[in-house]
């Protein structure tokens, strides 16, 4: 699963990078000027290049933006499959079942994403407005430094609240799967209460994972700085480190969802209904309604762990 | 360290003709002022009395005097300045709906000492654009003319309202930067001065894209302001008197200068330092106090550099004002011995804007003040030359490739910045550097005046070599300091020195250079188009093709590197559209470069100056890997939303 997601990210990235490489090779021609870039950024080489060839590069960078948006929706799509893995920790889940879960929950998570994105955008607007009004109100009385801290505090408040909303979003995803909840708003509301009641175990862990991610980034930058990219060997080495880093980041995102599942499991008693996740192809009989095909689902027997009973 | 100047009661009252600070006269001292001015911080008004002693420098009989009333540029939206600028300068806008944002100056009376009352004879006129609403220049006919070499003494009373700062001068809250604030006589150019075929007044209206032009003189100025205000100004402080009404009067005297500006604010943090004979006074905003050393280091670097490479700074003071952020329209301006810098709290060490502005504005002590060129007609002569020296000082002090920005892996040198601004214009052939500032192509004043000039000066340095360039500049400085030089005077010095020193390598004169680059709009771009090798017996025949893509014609060198490590340099006059060199050598040509030493810094594309038979793909691979990595990272950041 992790490898699949990584490969998707790599393929999408290559959609930008390969044309970029070819375009760059064609546009730079046989000039020696670009050798200066091996030792670091060179303003003259860069600006001369962009002035002449900027129009050839801009569309490729634009593709990068679109590819990122595509990946955003693919990530939404993958979420159902990832969470299903955590729902079935002791059982082999085929790729077919993985894709089935992905597609099953996609619409629900899309609605949840819309809710989360709207809330984050609303928060951004509120804090931008608050910051602007505060800075305007105190611009005659406070110093530059104090005004900066007012603005920065508003930004910090936005970041804290945005991470809270994103954390709630993760728990809402778990809630939607655990309770087979089709309504994103209800799941978000329940998850909000849960996260606020258990802030340290939910939001605190979320921040811990964010800090780990940031720490990795710092480690990467230190590696890149130390190795440099001034020779073929160094370029290949840094490329491998970069891809390892990206793989790690994808893993961290998966772990974040896994942590949310585990914490949710511990904090919320399982609902008094039969677990109604997507039926795996190996399942034999079911009694509850299958949310995918609507057929009655019988409790499974044998080694499969495709159901959870009520308390 | 705050000076509590108002505790000092100095008994010495201002007396005209007091012992000068500098023992001997350095300049012609044509326009000499004694001014008493009082600032009312509440109404933002100045009340002043001015005694002007003006000497006729020509052999002509002068029948009228002309004056600048610069503050009237801010009187309303109809002045030429406001029409041209649209109420905006350097990104700052005048608050058009607020009448307190405007400024003006009224001459209340003007009399010849012991003679004629000139007040009723004052006429506004518009020598540049016939805009009848512009009141920035006046003329005053004289009943009794001023004969050759004679002096006239005028007593002038005036009042002025300062504008809210948006173009160098004015007020912002309780900060005052007072420049171009008094009735200032124009320059009478005797025949032979600059381009004057006969004696003439050179008094231009105040334009959006112009600065000033004035004669040298002595300024003796008494400034009255509230006691809690710190006041600094052009020249040396002579003394301070505490008045009974809660104000104080501070006297300043400046000799051999072309202008006088001052500042007042109750909030300055004052830091003093010294460089050789120069007392440096740095007036900082309290929250910028921690950046004092950055400003002082930059000022000292500039002082030392100009002293070494151009000539001595003849004054004993240098005042650097750091305006508050809300008065940023006053930042980055130059007056004699008095400059404004500009910074913000939290500016990283690696972003050297404060240093750059300090170095630039100090440079105007040479290009504007000591070499008092006409900034209306030949702004490139001060701004462009100064930009060139800014590049030299910044790059040699802070690093050639990182002098302006060296932060988070981004690096930018000062000359790189100047060149970028010019060569990457949408149309670098838009116009010459030379010309009246208000008639340059709209929106291109800055780049043609500052950046293009700095770039072609660096190119001239490349062609001449640094030692010869320094000799030219030193000769220009020594010959023209305390005078009004023009383009032709600089070119004459280049033509006098360069052909002789370079054994006529570039011909009998360098006019071909200035005609293309200063007066013309030619664009320079040479390209190393191809390197081909073919076997010829035991040797190889290498064919190197160079294109002249631009319309500028410059002599260039071509460097050819062979695969046995040997190299060869070829000369080309650069005039034809292309040139093919054929070389027969035992080794194959590996690569070639046109203008390998980057003498032609004005070349609009330096990336096409080289050609390698086997070019490495490593730089492209490096940036492709980086791009891939960052695209993947952006994806992951977005994935946290999902």
Residues of A in contact with B636 (CB under 8 A): 9, 246, 249-250, 253
Rounded to whole angstroms, how far apart are CA atoms B307 and B300?
10
Read off the pLDDT band of B522 (50, 70, 90).
very high
How far apart are alpha carbons B214 and B203 in whole angstroms?
9
Question: Last residue of some domain: B460, B482, B517?
Answer: B517
- Least reliable range by pLDDT among A90-104, A116-130, A166-180, B511-525: A90-104
A31–B326: do the CB atoms touch at under 8 Å? no
- For A229, which of B419, B622, B642 is closest by C-beta distance? B622
Distance of residue A214 Cα from the nearest chain B Cα, in angstroms: 11
Of A32, A49, A253, the CB nearest to B593: A32
Residue B631 predicted with pLDDT over 60: yes
* Nearest-Cα residue of chain B relative to residue A16: B628
**Rounded to an integer, what distance in angstroms lies between the CA atom of residue A252 and that of residue B630?**
17
Within B133-290, strands assigned E span 137-146, 151-161, 170-172, 175-178, 184-185, 187-189, 200-202, 217-226, 230-233, 236-242, 247-257, 262-265, 269-275, 278-284
Is the pLDDT confidence value at B72 over 80?
yes
Question: Which position has the token pair 């021609």?
Answer: A29
Contacts of B547 (CB under 8 A, 6+ apart): B526, B527, B529, B577, B578
Q: Residue B23's pLDDT band (boundaries 50, 70, 90)?
A: low
pLDDT band of A98, cuts 50, 70, 90: confident
Interface-testing mutation among B173, B559, B622, with chain A (most A C-beta atoms within 10 A): B622
- Residues of chain B contacting residue A44, judged by C-beta atoms under 8 Å apart: 416, 419-420, 606
**What residues make up the domain containing B482?**
381-517
Contact A68 B631 (CB under 8 A): yes
Residue of B nearest to A54 (CA): B424
Are B340 and B325 in contact by the 8 Å Cβ rule? The answer is no
Which residues from B are below 8 Å from A166, CB to CB? 640-641
For B11-40, what is the mean pLDDT? 72
Which tokens in the block code for residue A130?
């608050």
Q: Which residues on chain A are in Cβ contact (under 8 Å) with B286?
A: 143
Half-sphere exposure of A72 toward its Cβ, with a 13 Å CA cutoff?
16
Interface mutation vs chain A, best among B267, B635, B637, B638, most A CBs within 10 Å? B635
Asked if B615 and A45 come within 8 Å (Cβ–Cβ), the reply is no
With contacts defined as CB-CB under 8 Å, which chain B residues touch A206?
A: none
**Residue range A101-117, pLDDT digits in tens:** 999 999 999 999 999 99
pLDDT band for position B14 (cuts 50, 70, 90): very low
A255: left (phi over 0), alpha (psi -120 to 50) or beta: alpha
Q: Do B641 and A14 touch (CB under 8 A)?
A: no
Q: Which residue in A has a C-alpha nearest to residue B425's C-alpha?
A: A51
Confidence at B498, pLDDT banded by 50, 70, 90? very high
Task: Say if residues B530 and B545 touch (Cβ distance below 8 Å).
Answer: yes
Phi, psi (deg, nearest 5) at residue A7: -65, -35
Domain boundary among B470, B490, B517: B517
CATH number at residue B509: 1.10.390.10
Does the beta-carbon distance from A28 to B625 stay under 8 Å? no
Identity of the residue in A47, A144, A166 whose CB atom sits nearest the CB atom of B345: A144
Q: How many domains does chain B have?
A: 3
**pLDDT for the residue numbered A272:** 57
Q: Which token pair is A75?
A: 């990530």
In a domain, B309, yes or no: no
- Chain A residues near residue B350 by CB distance under 8 angstroms: none
CA distance A294 to chain B (A): 27
For residue B471, is it within any domain? yes
Shared domain check, B500 and B584:
no
Both B442 and B582 in one domain: the answer is no
Chain A: give the shortest CA distance to residue B81, in Å. Answer: 29
- Which of B619, B625, B626, B637 to probe the A interface (max A CBs under 10 A)? B619
- Decide which of A139 and A12 is more confident: A12
**Minimum distance, in Å, between the CA of residue A22 and any CA atom of chain B:** 9
Residue B3, token pair as written in the block: 């000076």
| Residue B623 φ then ψ, to 5° | -75, -25
Domain closes at, from B517, B541, B571: B517
Mean pLDDT of B225-236: 98
Cβ proximity of A81 and A126 under 8 Å: no
Asked whether the beta carbons of residue B631 and residue A72 sit closer than 8 angstroms, the reply is no
Query: Is A42–B173 a contact, with Cβ atoms under 8 angstroms apart?
Result: no
Q: Which of B281, B403, B305 is nearest to B363 (CA)?
A: B305
**Residues B458 and B545 both lie in one domain:** no
DSSP assigned state of B131: -
Express each pLDDT in A161-197 by its tens digit. 999 999 999 999 999 998 888 999 999 999 999 999 9
Residues A254 and A273: their CA atoms lie apart, in Å, by 27
Per CB-CB distance under 8 Å, the chain A contacts of B604 are 48
B616 closest CB neighbour out of A20, A35, A253: A35
Taking only the tens place, the pLDDT of each residue in B102-159 is 999 999 999 999 999 999 999 999 999 999 999 999 999 999 999 999 999 999 999 9
Residue B134 within a domain: yes
Same domain assignment for residues B116 and B48: yes
B636/A32 Cβ within 8 A = no
User: Within a domain: residue B115?
Assistant: yes
Contact across the interface for B611 and A76, Cβ inside 8 Å = no
Domain for residue B374, yes or no? no
CATH number at B550 reads 2.60.40.10
User: Quick one: which of B338, B286, B318, B410 has its CA closest to B168?
Assistant: B338
Nearest CA in chain A to B343: A144
Question: Are A20 and B627 a contacting pair, CB within 8 Å?
Answer: yes
Q: Is B186 helix (H, G, I), strand (E, B) or coil?
A: coil
pLDDT value for A20: 94
In this structure, the answer to whether residues B394 and B464 fall within a common structural domain is yes
| Alpha-carbon span B595 to B98, nearest angstrom | 56
Statement: residue B17 has pLDDT above 90: no
Q: Tokens for B165?
A: 């700062």
Q: How far is A121 from chain B (nearest CA, A)?
A: 12
Label residue B90 by pLDDT band (50, 70, 90): confident
Under an 8 A CB cutoff, do B627 and A9 touch?
A: no
**Minimal CA separation from B343 to chain A, in Å:** 11
Q: How many CA atoms lie within 13 A of A261 on its CB side?
A: 19
Domain membership flag for residue B556? yes
Chain B residue at shortest CA distance from A8: B632
Of chain A, the percentage scoring pLDDT greater than 90 comes to: 68
| Residues B619, A16: C-beta atoms closer than 8 Å | no
CA distance B575 to chain A (A): 23
Give the residue from chain B lying closest to A233, CA to CA. B618
- pLDDT(B21) > 50: no
Which chain A residue is nearest to residue B531, measuring alpha carbons? A30
The three-class DSSP label of residue B309 is helix
Provide the pLDDT confidence category of residue A310 given band limits of 50, 70 and 90.
very low
pLDDT, residue B599, reads: 97
Look at residue B431 and tell me whether its pLDDT is greater than 60: yes
Q: Which of B339, B345, B342 shows the shortest CA–CA distance to B329?
A: B342
Q: Which of A213, A216, A293 minimizes the C-alpha distance to A255? A: A213
**Are B553 and B517 within 8 A, CB to CB?**
no
Tell whether B285 is covered by a domain.
Answer: no
Position B4 scores a pLDDT of 36
Give the residue carrying structure tokens 């002025």. Answer: B160
Q: Taking CB atoms and an 8 Å cutoff, what residues of chain B touch A250?
A: 636, 639
Residue B9 has pLDDT above 50, yes or no: no
**Which tokens is B612 given?**
């390698």
* Out of B401, B627, B635, closest to residue A12 by CB: B635
Residue B579 and residue B503 share a domain: no
pLDDT, one tens digit per residue, over B411-425 is 999 999 999 999 999
How distant is the Cα of A260 from the closest Cα of chain B, in angstroms? 13
Q: Residues B442, B542: one domain?
A: no
CATH assignment of the domain containing B195: 2.60.40
Question: Does position A275 have pLDDT exceeding 80, yes or no?
Answer: no
Are A250 and B593 a contacting pair at CB < 8 A? no
Contact criterion met (CB below 8 Å) for B556 and B594? yes
Q: Is residue B310 part of a domain?
A: no
- B600 and B474 in a single domain? The answer is no
Q: Under an 8 A CB cutoff, do A148 and B345 touch?
A: yes
Q: Are residues B48 and B135 in the same domain?
A: yes
**Quick one: B485 and B562 in the same domain?**
no
In this complex, which of B173, B345, B631 lies closest to A13 when CB atoms are compared? Answer: B631
**How many angstroms separate the Cα of B141 from the Cα of each of A159, B121, B154, B189?**
70, 7, 13, 18
**B447 plus B464 within the same structural domain:** yes
State phi, psi for B123 to the nearest 5 degrees.
-130, 135
| Contact call for A9 and B606, based on CB within 8 A | no
Residue B513 shares a structural domain with residue B531: no
């Amino acid at each position: 699963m992790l490898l699949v997601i990584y490969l998707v990210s790599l393929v999408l990235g290559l959609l930008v990078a390969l044309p970029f490489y070819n375009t760059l090779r064609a546009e730079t021609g046989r000039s020696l000027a670009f050798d200066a870039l091996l030792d670091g950024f060179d303003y003259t080489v860069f600006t001369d290049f962009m002035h002449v060839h900027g129009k050839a590069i801009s569309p490729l960078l634009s593709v990068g933006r679109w590819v990122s948006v595509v990946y955003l929706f693919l990530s939404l799509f993958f979420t159902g499959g990832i969470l299903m893995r955590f729902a079935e920790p002791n059982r082999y889940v085929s790729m077919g079942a993985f894709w089935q879960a992905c597609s099953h929950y996609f619409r629900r998570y899309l609605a949840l994403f819309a809710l989360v994105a709207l809330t984050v955008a609303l928060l951004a607007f509120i804090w931008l407005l608050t910051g602007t009004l505060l800075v305007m109100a105190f611009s005659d009385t406070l110093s530059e430094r104090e005004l900066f801290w007012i603005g920065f505090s508003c930004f910090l408040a936005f970041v804290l609240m945005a991470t809270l909303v994103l954390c709630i979003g993760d728990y809402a995803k778990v809630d939607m799967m655990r309770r087979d909840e089709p309504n994103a708003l209800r799941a978000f509301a329940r998850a909000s209460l849960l996260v606020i009641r258990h802030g340290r175990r939910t939001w605190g862990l979320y921040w811990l994972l964010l800090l780990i991610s940031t720490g990795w980034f710092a480690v990467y930058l230190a590696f890149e700085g130390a190795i440099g990219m001034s020779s073929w060997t160094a370029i290949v080495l840094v490329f491998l480190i970069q891809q390892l880093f990206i793989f790690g980041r994808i893993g961290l995102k998966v772990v974040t969802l896994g942590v949310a599942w585990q914490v949710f499991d511990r904090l919320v008693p399982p609902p008094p209904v039969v677990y109604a996740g997507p039926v795996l192809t190996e399942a034999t009989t079911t009694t509850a309604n299958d949310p995918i095909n609507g057929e009655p689902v019988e409790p499974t027997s044998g080694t499969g762990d495709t159901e959870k009973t009520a308390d | 360290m705050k000076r509590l100047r108002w505790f000092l009661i100095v008994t010495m009252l201002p007396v005209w003709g007091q012992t000068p600070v500098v023992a001997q006269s350095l300049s012609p001292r044509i326009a000499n002022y004694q001014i008493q001015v009082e600032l009312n911080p509440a109404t933002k008004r100045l009340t002043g009395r001015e005694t002007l002693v003006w000497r006729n420098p020509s052999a002509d009989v002068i029948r009228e005097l002309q004056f600048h009333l610069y503050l009237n540029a801010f009187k309303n939206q109809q002045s030429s300045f406001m029409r041209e600028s649209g109420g905006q300068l350097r990104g700052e806008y005048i608050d058009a709906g607020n009448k307190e944002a405007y400024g003006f100056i009224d001459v209340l009376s003007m009399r010849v000492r012991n003679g004629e009352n000139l007040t009723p004879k004052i006429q506004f006129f518009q020598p540049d654009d016939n805009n009848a609403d512009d009141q920035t220049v006046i003329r005053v006919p004289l009943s009794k003319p001023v004969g050759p070499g004679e002096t006239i003494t005028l007593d002038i009373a005036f009042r002025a309202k300062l504008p809210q700062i948006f173009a160098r001068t004015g007020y912002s809250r309780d900060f005052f930067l007072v420049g171009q604030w008094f009735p200032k006589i124009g320059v009478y150019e005797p025949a032979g001065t600059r381009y004057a075929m006969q004696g003439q007044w050179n008094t231009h209206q105040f334009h959006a894209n112009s600065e000033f032009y004035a004669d040298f003189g002595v300024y003796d100025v008494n400034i009255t302001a509230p006691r809690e205000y710190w006041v600094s100004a052009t020249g040396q402080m002579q003394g301070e008197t505490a008045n009974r009404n809660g104000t104080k009067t501070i006297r300043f005297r400046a000799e051999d200068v072309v202008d006088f500006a001052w500042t007042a604010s109750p909030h300055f943090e004052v830091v003093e330092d010294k460089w050789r004979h120069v007392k440096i006074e740095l007036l900082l905003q309290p929250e910028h106090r921690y950046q004092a050393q950055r400003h002082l280091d930059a000022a000292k670097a500039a002082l030392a550099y100009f002293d070494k490479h151009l000539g001595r700074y003849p004054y004993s003071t240098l005042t650097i004002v750091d305006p508050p952020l809300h008065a940023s329209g006053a930042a980055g301006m130059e007056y004699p011995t008095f400059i404004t810098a500009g910074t913000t709290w939290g500016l990283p060490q690696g972003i050297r804007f404060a240093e750059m502005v300090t170095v630039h504005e100090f440079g105007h002590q040479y290009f504007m003040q000591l070499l008092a060129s006409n900034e209306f007609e030949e702004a490139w002569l001060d701004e462009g030359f100064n930009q060139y020296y800014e590049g030299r000082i910044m790059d040699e002090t802070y690093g050639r490739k990182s002098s302006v920005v060296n932060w988070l892996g981004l690096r930018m040198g000062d000359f790189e910045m100047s060149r970028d601004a010019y060569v990457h214009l949408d149309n670098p052939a838009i116009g010459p550097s030379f010309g009246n500032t208000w008639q340059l192509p709209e929106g291109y004043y800055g780049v043609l005046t500052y950046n293009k000039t700095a770039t072609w000066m660096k190119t001239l340095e490349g062609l001449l070599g640094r030692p010869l360039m320094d000799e030219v500049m030193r000769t220009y400085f020594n010959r023209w300091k305390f005078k009004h030089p023009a383009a032709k005077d600089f070119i004459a010095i280049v033509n006098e020195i360069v052909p002789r020193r370079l054994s006529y390598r570039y011909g009998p004169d360098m006019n071909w250079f200035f005609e293309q680059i200063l007066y013309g709009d030619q664009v320079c771009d040479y390209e190393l188009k191809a390197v081909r090798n073919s076997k010829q017996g035991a040797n190889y025949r290498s064919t190197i093709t160079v294109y002249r893509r631009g319309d500028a014609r410059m002599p260039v060198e071509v460097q050819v590197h062979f695969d046995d490590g040997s190299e060869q340099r070829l000369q080309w006059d650069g005039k034809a559209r292309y040139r093919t060199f054929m070389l027969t050598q035992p080794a194959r040509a590996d690569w070639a470069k046109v203008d390998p030493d980057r003498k032609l810094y004005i070349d609009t594309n330096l990336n096409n100056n080289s050609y390698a038979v086997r070019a490495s793909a490593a730089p492209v691979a490096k940036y492709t890997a980086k791009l891939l990595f960052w695209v993947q990272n952006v994806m992951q950041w977005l994935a946290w939303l999902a």
